[in-house]
Amino acid sequence: MKSNSLWISRSLQNVWHPCTQMQHHETMPLVPISHGRGAWLFDADGKRYLDGISSWWVNLFGHANSRINAALKDQLDKLEHVMLAGFTHEPVISLSEKLAEKTQHQLGHCFFASDGASAVEIALKMSFHSWSNSGLPDKKEFVCLQGSYHGETIGALAVTDVAIFRDAYGPLINSAHVVISPDARQALEGETAQDVARRAIAEVEKLFEQRSDKIAAIIVEPLIQCAIGFAMYDALYLTLLRALCDKYQVHLIADEIAVGCGRTGSFFACEQASIWPDFMCLSKGISGGYLPLSLVMTTDKVYQSFYHQDIRRGFLHSHSYTGNPLACRAALATLEIFQEDSVLATNCARAAKINAALAPLAQHEKVKNFRQRGMIWAFDAVDAKAGFSSRFFTQALKQELLLRPIGNTVYLMPPYILSDEEIAHLAHNTLSVFEQVMV
């Protein structure tokens, strides 16, 4: 038996895979990965795949990155873990300092967890509790955008508007207000992306006018709603939303779990709108794709609303692995790479090369809404047949490419290290896979 098939049958015995109808694995085989190097993953039979989606959007500087590996090996011999309640350690201090600095200390208080959904839960709880500590306990409702995705725990699902993840648990979920998305593809005849943003904001203002005394926060994915199929929108929406939140006393939660850490071109996506939220959620890329780590950054104002003699006014939320030293150290090594390699600037040049390489695809007659921001590319397949996404995924694997379309939207979200050769491989094979799947 070849190693791939052996691993597959063993995995199907005891591992329940995420985001999967397990019966589909009767026809769609698992891909057993034995090791990774740079932008490449290698399966148990030695076949390679270019990681075009950064292993579910987490990897920034490649697999087995020597600098992150070295930092982790060093940390491993010092301290693998200690509880963060009542204790502290160098990696969590340095990481909090560095991140606070990146927001010019506007978001100077970092609260840690381990995964993205937990960071969203924390922001929701903190927002409500902060208003309640400030004498406004009626502010307990939340607002999210149509097509929003903020994670899949019960609380995070309340602000997630993706039917396939949400509907099965409808009876368990506290509903949030859903407002229209500023998705630039929804432009009416003659409208610009900024017009769509203004139209979407008008709806938020209407809701705030009626209910802001009941609303704690609005949560958004700045610039790009990723999980619904990479809906990109104008930064003006965020600028106007910040002003509305100030006017009506509603917290703004920026979920930068997917779009943060340089993905959209700036370190934080919010920077492109020249705003800071009241809560910023980070995860995914923050540890370079190495270890589970998430955090919520917030303002001094929110922090002060909890600072009190009375323990019940404190934020008593905790996770066992909160602020894990190894994960924080991976994040520090990741931030060092950003600085030492001027990553935002080099990504700009790299994105221009990728754009050029993707030009034939962008002009393909079956491609519409070709769009790009920073290190994210997406396009929609015109008149795709049923099963487009799984057929594309399977064909891509055959051509040494890991890509997983969402519905009829193909997206590329590669790590920030592609060489010219790898860019050519990505662009050429994406086009060729697309053409084969569209016949």
Ligand X SMILES: *Cc1c(COP(=O)(O)O)cnc(C)c1O
* Interacting residues toward ligand X by CB under 6 A: 115-117, 120, 149-151, 221, 226-227, 255, 257-258, 283-284
Concatenated DSSP letters of 257-307: TTTTTTTTSSSSGGGGGT---SEEEE-GGGGTTSS--EEEEE-HHHHHHH-
Q: Which of 186, 228, 149 is nearest to 406 (CA)?
A: 228
Q: Where are the alpha helices (DSSP H) in 33-187?
A: 54-57, 66-76, 90-102, 116-133, 154-157, 163-166
- Complex with ligand X: residue 19 or 188, whichever CB lies closer: 19
CB of 161 to ligand X, least distance (A): 12
CB of 420 to ligand X, least distance (A): 29
**3-class secondary structure, 34:** strand
For 129, 195, 199, 203, 206, the CA distances from 180, given in Å and listed in that order, are 27, 13, 9, 7, 12
Determine if residue 181 is labeled as part of a ligand binding site.
Answer: no
CB contact at 8 A, 302 and 126: yes
CB of 257 to ligand X, least distance (A): 4
- Between CA 141 and CA 354 the distance in angstroms is 42
Determine if residue 404 is labeled as part of a ligand binding site.
Answer: yes
Determine if residue 105 is labeled as part of a ligand binding site.
Answer: no
For residue 215, the one-letter residue type is: I
**3-class secondary structure, 256:** coil
- Complex with ligand X: residue 18 or 190, whichever CB lies closer: 18
How many CA atoms, within 13 angstroms, populate the side-chain half-sphere of residue 276?
Answer: 14
How many CA atoms, within 13 angstroms, populate the side-chain half-sphere of residue 109?
Answer: 16
Structure tokens at 409: 């939207």
- Complex with ligand X: residue 4 or 114, whichever CB lies closer: 114
Determine if residue 130 is labeled as part of a ligand binding site.
Answer: no
- Complex with ligand X: residue 323 or 364, whichever CB lies closer: 323
User: Which residues touch 29 (CB under 8 Å, ≥6 apart)?
Assistant: 4, 8
CB of 424 to ligand X, least distance (A): 29
CB of 108 to ligand X, least distance (A): 23
Determine if residue 117 is labeled as part of a ligand binding site.
Answer: yes
Stated length of the chain: 439
Determine if residue 319 is labeled as part of a ligand binding site.
Answer: yes
CB of 46 to ligand X, least distance (A): 30
- Complex with ligand X: residue 29 or 407, whichever CB lies closer: 407
CB of 110 to ligand X, least distance (A): 17
Determine if residue 255 is labeled as part of a ligand binding site.
Answer: yes
Q: Which residues partner with 143 through β-bridges?
A: 177, 218
- Complex with ligand X: residue 272 or 395, whichever CB lies closer: 272
Taking CB positions, which residue lies at the least distance from ligand X? 116
- Complex with ligand X: residue 231 or 357, whichever CB lies closer: 231
Could you list the residues known to form a binding site for substrate, using ranges. 56, 149, 284, 318, 404
Annotated binding site for pyridoxal 5'-phosphate: 116-117, 255, 319-320
Instruction: Summarize the annotated binding site as residue ranges.
Output: 56, 116-117, 149, 255, 284, 318-320, 404
